């Protein structure tokens, strides 16, 4: 069931809200929690009921194992529990890819099986691994089966995140105040949901329509001209941005309707001034999980081995190359490799992860050098920040090509076109712009009817990039009210000059959001709903 589908908006959500308010309004917190859990299982099973036993089995296994680890911490049992979760994920997600890779490499005559990836398995697997790890460390403070089931299955975040942490969710499920219907939660939640739906169907989906044929042509081996290749890459970068941003807004809004704050997962990542900053803004809960449960343990293990070998740790602000490789480069590359293969089974995802790992190593290395030289690490001056944001965005778009391409070959075909190796040409419609035709002649640029890029697409891309870079995000727009869990967004520059850039309850905003909602609903109902991009992970 999709958030942008008619059955969800006009059927499932009103029924679940009504039942929740009936139970919660009468002080029956446990019944309200049970109702939400059952509704979440219906939501999950709507896609394919045969995978419900898999989800329920995973929940029961990890709950029981977590209870055991709370009473008898054992590194062996923890390791076996994590391995069981990873084997389940690996079977469904990577079996076909690994068999296909072995067949390509050795010609063993193996045929890759057709295995359907269960929805949300990547997300609920990571959540439960964190629960087991914290149970072993004694960091789990509540072990209630109903609340644990709701923690894993809560439908606003079940399919595509945010990747929630047991500590932040179980405490909310245990607080009766969160189950009391509140008008402010409802108004903020509905507003966030409408804004997210608008982003999805009005911004993201049309960009996906533009990007799809370009990447299909690259997969077919077509020699894409410069503008066609860049048009497809930028269209996909914007589709991914608004699709994931829209889902996050809708998820947080839905959570608030039930009195639950979900953690922030998206904070204007295209405004990032380096790739370190980018990963602190993009899929923030995935970054949080990988940092806490992958990166930090690797660094801790390396540090312990160095101390045991009598090798001193680096002084603050100074790090020799060997120490930098051991404590920064190696853990970063391994963590981003895991991030890449978590997103998908394919060499293009391996390349995506390693490329971002390389970006991060370079960024950390440059910051280490600046610290050693006594330079200021970050500058807020426009003359420094604008080029930094532009360079970061360029690197992210290159990475997005691997993220979207059906194969490594298609990604390299796209990059070849983006590098101008297939030539540069302008659509013939550009000839109507005064001065363009003689300038193109001087530069040797042909005016031909390109297969994909059109002036209107260039205008759409420019407007959406301006939207990303200049306007406040929804967390900033709603910044005076409770939205994401514990989130206090900084004010965007536009909010200081434009009073309508900050949401307040009132007739004007109600009418504006209503109009946006009307157009978003009309567009959503006019065609079959499209899946969110992160559903495939």
- What tens digit of pLDDT does each residue of 446-455 get? 887 777 888 8
Same domain flag for 116 and 176: yes
Name the nearest CA neighbour of 239 among 227, 229, 251, 231.
231
Contacts of 93 (CB under 8 A, 6+ apart): 117, 121, 122, 345
Same domain flag for 93 and 228: no
Last residue of a domain, one of 155, 181, 207: 181
Q: Which residue has the higher pLDDT, 382 or 352?
A: 352
Same domain flag for 177 and 191: no
Rounded Cα distance, 405 and 215, in Å: 6
- What tens digit of pLDDT does each residue of 230-269 get? 999 999 999 999 999 999 999 999 999 999 999 999 999 9
Q: For the beta carbon of residue 389, count every other beta carbon within 10 angstroms.
A: 19
343 is catalytic: yes
3-state SS assignment for residue 93: helix
Whether the ω angle into residue 162 lies within 30 degrees of 0, i.e. cis, is yes
Last residue of a domain, one of 181, 205, 225: 181
Give how far Cα 351 sits from Cα of 41, 98, 345, 401, 410, Å: 35, 16, 11, 10, 13
Tell me if 84 is assigned to some domain.
Answer: yes
Strands (E) in 125-237, as ranges, are: none
Average pLDDT over residues 487-504: 75
- What tens digit of pLDDT does each residue of 435-476 get? 877 887 877 788 877 778 888 999 999 999 999 999 899 988
Same domain flag for 39 and 68: yes
Please state the domain count of the chain: 2
Tell me if 415 is assigned to some domain.
Answer: no
Tell me if 344 is assigned to some domain.
Answer: no
For 323, counting Cβ atoms within 10 Å of its Cβ (0-12 exposed, 13-18 middle, 19+ buried), the class is middle
pLDDT of residue 235: 98
Same domain flag for 140 and 126: yes
Same domain flag for 174 and 192: no
What is the span of the domain harbouring residue 152?
6-181
- What tens digit of pLDDT does each residue of 99-139 get? 888 877 777 777 777 788 888 899 999 999 999 999 999 99
Tell me if 370 is assigned to some domain.
Answer: no
Give per-residue burial for 162-186: e unless 16+ CB within 10 Å, then b.
bbbbbebbbebbeeeebbeeeeebb
Average pLDDT over the chain, rounded to whole?
Answer: 90
Same domain flag for 246 and 213: yes
| Pair of tokens at residue 508 | 């004007």
Tell me if 148 is assigned to some domain.
Answer: yes
pLDDT of residue 180: 85
Give how far Cα 219 sits from Cα of 223, 290, 385, 402, Å: 10, 31, 36, 12
What DSSP assignment string belongs to 257-317?
A: HTT-PPPP-BS-GGG-SSHHHHHTTBSHHHHHHHIIIIIHHHHHHHHHHHHHTTPPPPPTT
Choose, from 343, 356, 364, 480, the residue flagged as catalytic: 343
Residue with tokens 């499932």: 12
Same domain flag for 157 and 248: no
Give how far Cα 470 sits from Cα of 74, 298, 352, 388, 435, Å: 51, 38, 28, 15, 30
Same domain flag for 226 and 80: no
Q: What's this model's pTM, rounded to 2 decimal places?
A: 0.93
Tell me if 284 is assigned to some domain.
Answer: no
Last residue of a domain, one of 149, 181, 213: 181
pLDDT of residue 516: 92
Same domain flag for 156 and 221: no
Tell me if 21 is assigned to some domain.
Answer: yes
Tell me if 371 is assigned to some domain.
Answer: no
Rounded Cα distance, 410 and 282, in Å: 25
Same domain flag for 156 and 127: yes
Note whether 266 and 248 are within 8 A (CB): yes
pLDDT of residue 104: 77
Give how far Cα 153 sits from Cα of 110, 125, 158, 363, Å: 37, 12, 6, 37
Same domain flag for 196 and 234: yes
């Amino acid at each position: 069931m999709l958030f942008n589908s008619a059955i969800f908006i006009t059927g499932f959500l009103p029924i679940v809200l009504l039942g929740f308010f009936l139970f919660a309004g009468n002080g029956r917190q446990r019944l309200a929690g049970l109702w939400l859990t059952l509704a979440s299982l219906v939501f999950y099973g709507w896609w394919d009921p045969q995978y419900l036993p898999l989800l329920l089995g995973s929940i029961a296994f990890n709950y029981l194992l977590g209870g055991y680890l709370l009473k008898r911490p054992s590194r062996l049992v923890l390791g076996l529990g994590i391995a069981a979760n990873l084997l389940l994920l690996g079977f469904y997600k990577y079996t076909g890819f690994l068999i296909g890779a072995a067949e390509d490499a050795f010609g063993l005559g193996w045929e890759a099986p057709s295995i359907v990836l269960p929805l949300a398995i990547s997300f609920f697997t990571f959540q439960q691994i964190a629960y087991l790890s914290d149970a072993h460390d004694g960091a789990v403070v509540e072990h209630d089966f109903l609340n644990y089931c709701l923690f894993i299955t809560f439908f606003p975040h079940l399919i595509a995140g945010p990747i929630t942490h047991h500590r932040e969710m179980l405490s909310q499920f245990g607080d009766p105040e969160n189950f009391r219907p509140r008008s402010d939660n409802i108004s903020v939640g509905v507003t966030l949901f409408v804004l997210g739906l608008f982003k999805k169907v009005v911004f993201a989906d049309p960009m996906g329509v533009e990007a799809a044929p370009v990447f299909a042509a690259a997969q077919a081996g077509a020699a894409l001209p410069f503008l066609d290749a860049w048009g497809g890459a930028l269209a996909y970068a914007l589709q991914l941005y608004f699709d994931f941003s829209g889902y996050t807004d809708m998820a947080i809004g839905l959570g608030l309707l039930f009195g639950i704050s979900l953690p922030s997962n998206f904070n204007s990542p295209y405004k990032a001034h380096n790739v370190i900053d980018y990963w602190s803004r993009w899929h923030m809960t995935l970054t949080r999980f990988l940092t806490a449960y992958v990166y930090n343990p690797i660094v801790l293990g390396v540090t312990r081995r160095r101390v045991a070998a009598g090798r001193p740790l680096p002084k603050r602000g100074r790090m020799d190359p060997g120490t930098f490789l051991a404590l920064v480069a190696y853990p970063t590359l391994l963590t981003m490799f895991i991030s890449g293969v978590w997103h998908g089974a394919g060499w293009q995802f391996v390349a995506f992860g390693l490329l971002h790992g390389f970006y991060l190593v370079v960024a950390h290395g440059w910051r280490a050098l600046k610290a050693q030289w006594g330079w200021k690490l970050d500058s807020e001056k426009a003359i420094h920040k604008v080029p930094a944001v532009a360079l970061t965005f360029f690197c992210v778009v290159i990475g997005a090509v691997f993220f979207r391409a059906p194969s490594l070959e298609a990604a390299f075909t796209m990059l070849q076109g983006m590098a101008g190796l297939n030539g540069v040409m302008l659509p013939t419609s550009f000839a109507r712009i005064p001065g363009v035709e003689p300038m193109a002649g001087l530069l040797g640029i042909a005016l031909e009817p390109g297969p994909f890029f059109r002036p209107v697409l260039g205008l759409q891309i420019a407007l959406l990039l301006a939207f990303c870079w200049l306007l406040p995000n929804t967390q900033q727009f709603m910044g005076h009210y409770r939205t994401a869990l514990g989130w206090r967004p900084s004010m965007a520059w536009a909010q200081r000059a434009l009073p309508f850039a900050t949401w307040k309850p009132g007739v004007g905003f109600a009418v504006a959001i209503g109009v946006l909602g009307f157009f978003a609903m009309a567009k959503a109902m006019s065609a079959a709903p499209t899946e969110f991009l992160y559903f495939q992970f």
